[in-house]
Chains A and B, each alone.
Chain A
């Protein structure tokens, strides 16, 4: 069996490395396509039968632990499959720009890592826990590390990748600690064993250890600081799959933890509280910082953090609701959170693809050097518009459906008087997040695609190839389907939700089918209304005099494009309130001084850096430096010293064994 799996691995690597450089993408597509088809088939099977065991298919490296697909895994398998197919299709056009710059081996390495990332994510959600889970988890980290390092000749890329690797391993250590504790007590490191552990031992410490481990991957506050560094550094399709799917494996882990809590009301309540609070903080922190960013990909990274916050709010409401004995609230929160996980994977991949389209034409991700791109890249602009409306959770698209479910859960909490304070906290946070998302994404869309070009490069850019647009259309199709026909998604989602917390799925189906039918009708009515109004206006205007002139400049005729609002000025309002509390300003260059009579050329660049980053960064780096200083003293460069160290070590081991200390 090992031989068989090694053979498959060797085959994948050989196939990618041996094909000509232009075809490598198709080999990767073939492998990822096969994996995705397999994953979808498995998830359909699991969905019909409840659970699929893969004993004969893949014996694990770790003996007793087996691969199995249950209903929760099947949802995540679908998410991974859709996003990874879109990603690999998109990567063709994006990587094509780099074929001359990098050696074929470099490109092969990239595609091998991409295939490895997809397969390892699938193994993460299929393994039943324990050390095979950790193995897949680590493989996922390493392959994404290689993927981030695509443009390894840039220093900031190397720095961000290293930062990512270190952060992920801190998280990994927590997971190892958690599983070791688990195995130590119950004799098995499976997720099922957690149920026993939760019953027999003090459950909160191990929950927090796991929560930190999984939260590191998802970017839960304050462990989110790797996201805004890694995403601008990584190629766009890698950011897309990492932000859209990979960080969701952390959510998957948290869901497994929640699944293991079996009818322990007290524990469920405490855990729900922790999750809800961290969700509120993560969501607000993410979106407020997102609105202050002037780099497209950094803004999107912070928005991912915010969406993780929204998902956690849903999960928290679910746990608190179940603990309070309200099946409906619990199921609302859970369904909303699960659907938002799916939705976010769709629109965030799309947004990162859009950012990639822009980057591959303009070679920058700084929003203040763009503007008016809608005229030069119309298809990208339309796709990004769809994704923007969806991520702002506005009707009639999918983001709205999932937030509606969470809201309904919380409003039910309010109107039934169950756990009112938490519901109200959730409502306040979610509505503030909703408002701020509109601010952040109108900023992104308005500054990048609308107005007039801020640099001459913009006017030279053109639309990207059709395959990349098609890759963006894959998630767009699903988004439109979920947004316009939400009544059909509720049954599968509530089946999955029922599988996690053991709620009764009939209650949500019964409760939500009319609601979501109404949402669907409202969505269609809205579209028809808008179309009708536009047609009426168009017909009326045919007979009128329509002129085209310059933008009204209030008496100034020679307005120039640099007088437009920039990303910085657009967010000035938010910054004036919150920038000091949440960020640290980094200024490059200087402004023109008043005393300069003949101003020379200046450059001025502000970046609002996350305060958490600088708080964590400072003592951490200083500590490492200090430790390194001591360790470096041992490195003398003389062979006799090193031999002495080895001798000391051996003697120490001998002594320890002699006195039975080891």
Chain B
């Protein structure tokens, strides 16, 4: 029980600090001093204390949706182990449950966006639904690669026993980690898929869906966003940890720093994709993860390549 609580605590730490690392990296690369490390937490605390404005078009669903969004993400969050620690929940086949919980959270936000009757939010919802659908195979294939190498279908089992150091495994796991970081870009609406830092209406996917949220609802959506980041960052870090026999004390900072820096660097150095190129970008990742899985398969078959 202590181990599980420790695991959850570490995950919370990861969730809270990734955004800080991203902001700090961006500031450093731009030559700015940058905002406080924990500024995003203060912002959310401020949102928590605010009132709210609801659109008269909306129904009750609009008010419940942030709770479903956060609840489902939190539930998925509780399944993710930190390297070899045991998570709070785990069962045989939980990788499917996590993927579908994330889909549930996505669906809640899409419906809330459509509930406002705004064409901006409809636009965001439509794109989120499409990209979410396209990225799903990449996610599943990444998980399948993990299952193929580690021989289990629950997160805890997959990451529990660090394997012998093996060149093939290391390469595959690094590629899997790369796939999961890119999935994070897509799921969290980061550059190059979308830019969360532009003025809200110009942000085309994720942020535009929450235009009508304010106060506590907005805070919930932001927290859920952190949790989502932590989920993908941790899976990526775990993949690397499996490859190098790292343990939890190594995987936690790895998740924070590697992912945070990756997102920060990409955001500083790249422009956002033209929207019509996003589909190609996502399909490339799907193809890459299919390729990784195929190579993984060939390696397990002991075929010389």
C-alpha spacing A439/B143, complex, angstroms: 22
Chain A residues near B64: list those with CB within 8 A: 530, 534
> Does residue B34 face the partner (Cβ distance < 8 Å to A)?
no
Contact at B133–A408, with CB atoms within 8 Å?
no
Q: Is B152 in contact with chain A by the CB < 8 A criterion?
A: yes
A400 lies within 8 A of chain B by Cβ: yes
Question: By the criterion CB–CB under 8 Å, are B55 and A551 in contact?
Answer: yes
User: In the complex the two chains form, is A544's CB within 8 Å of B50's CB?
Assistant: yes
Establish whether residues B153 and A546, one from each chain, have CB atoms under 8 Å apart when the complex forms. Answer: no
Is B107's CB within 8 Å of the partner chain A?
Answer: yes
The residues in A between 21 and 45 inclusive whose CB is less than 8 angstroms from any CB of B are none
Answer yes or no: A383 CB below 8 A from chain B CBs.
no
Give bound CA distance, A436 to B136, whole Å: 9
Q: How many residues of A contact B (CB 8 A)?
A: 84
Instruction: Say yes or no: A571 contacts B126, CB within 8 Å.
Output: yes
Query: Is B178 in contact with chain A by the CB < 8 A criterion?
Result: no
Contact A537 B75, beta carbon cutoff 8 Å: no
Q: How far is the CA of A446 from the CA of B109 in the complex (A)?
A: 11
Interchain nearest-CB distance for A244 vs B (Å): 23
Interface residues in B25-78 (C-beta closer than 8 Å to A): 48, 50-59, 61, 63-64, 66-68, 70-72, 74-75
* A537 touching B290, Cβ below 8 Å: no
Structural contact, B59 and A428, CB atoms closer than 8 A: no
Smallest CB separation, A458 vs chain B (Å): 12
B177 neighbours in A (Cβ, 8 Å): none
Q: Which of A415, A529, A534, A549 contacts B55 (CB 8 A)?
A: A549
B134 CB within 8 Å of chain A: yes
Residue in B120, B123, B130, B139 whose CB lies within 8 Å of A574: B130
> Inside 8 A of A446's CB, which chain B residues have their CB?
110-111, 114-115, 122, 125
Out of B57, B111, B143, B147, name the residue touching A452 (CB < 8 Å): B57
Closest beta carbon of chain B to A574's beta carbon, Å = 6
Cβ contacts under 8 Å, A569 to chain B:
122-123, 126
Q: How far is the CB of A537 from chain B (nearest CB, A)?
A: 5
Taking the nearest CB of chain B, how far is it from the CB of A144, in angstroms?
33
Contact A452 B117 (CB under 8 A): yes
Query: How does the 8 Å CB contact mask read for B14-25 relative to A, with 1 for contact and 0 for none?
Result: 000000000000
Whether A450 pairs with B215 at a CB distance below 8 angstroms is no
A408/B52 in contact, CB under 8 A = no
Set A395, A432, A447: member contacting B100, Cβ < 8 A: A395
CA gap between A447 and B71 in the complex, in Å:
25
Chain B residues near A431: list those with CB within 8 A.
Answer: 99, 136-137, 139-141
A450 to B59, CA, bound (A): 8
**A374, A445, A537, A549, most chain B CB atoms within 10 A:** A537
> In chain B between 116 and 170, which residues have their CB closer than 8 angstroms to a CB of chain A?
116-120, 122-123, 125-127, 129-130, 132-137, 139-141, 143-144, 147-148, 150-153
Q: Roughly how many angstroms separate A447 CA and B95 CA in the complex, as a whole number?
A: 31
Which residues of chain A come closer than 8 Å to B104, judged between CB atoms? 389, 394-395
Which B234-277 residues sit within 8 Å CB-CB of chain A? 276
CB distance B97 to A549 under 8 Å?
Answer: no
Q: Does A655 contact B (CB under 8 A)?
A: no
Chain B residues with CB under 8 Å of A434's CB are 99-100, 103, 136
- Whether, in the assembled complex, B12 has its beta carbon less than 8 Å from a beta carbon of chain A, the answer is no
- Please tell me if the beta carbons of A415 and B148 are within 8 angstroms of each other in the complex: yes
Is B228 in the interface zone, CB < 8 Å from A?
Answer: no
Please tell me if the beta carbons of A414 and B51 are within 8 angstroms of each other in the complex: no
Q: Of B3-11, B86-94, B189-197, which stretch is located at the interface?
A: B86-94
Residue of A nearest to B215 (CB): A544
**Inter-subunit contact B75/A548 (CB<8 Å):** no
In the bound assembly, the distance between CA atoms of A430 and B116 in angstroms comes to 31
> B150 → chain A, closest Cβ, in Å?
8
Pick from B95, B103, B148, B279: contact of A420, CB under 8 Å: B148
Task: Tell me which residues across on chain A come within 8 A of B147, comparing CB atoms.
Answer: 411, 414-415
B56–A548 touching, CB < 8 Å: yes
Query: What residues on A are CB-neighbors of B123 within 8 Å?
Result: 565, 569
Counting from the closest, the 9 A-B pairs by CB-CB distance are: A565-B122, A435-B133, A446-B114, A518-B91, A451-B117, A435-B136, A545-B51, A573-B130, A431-B140
> What are 16 inter-chain pairs, A to B, with CB distance below 8 A?
A375-B59, A392-B107, A393-B100, A412-B153, A415-B148, A424-B141, A427-B137, A428-B290, A431-B139, A435-B137, A438-B106, A529-B71, A534-B64, A541-B52, A551-B212, A570-B125
Besides the known contacts A400-B100, A438-B106, A564-B117, 20 further A-B residue pairs in the complex with CB atoms under 8 A apart: A372-B117, A389-B107, A404-B96, A411-B143, A415-B147, A424-B141, A424-B297, A432-B134, A435-B137, A438-B110, A438-B133, A446-B125, A450-B111, A529-B75, A530-B71, A546-B54, A549-B56, A551-B118, A553-B118, A570-B126
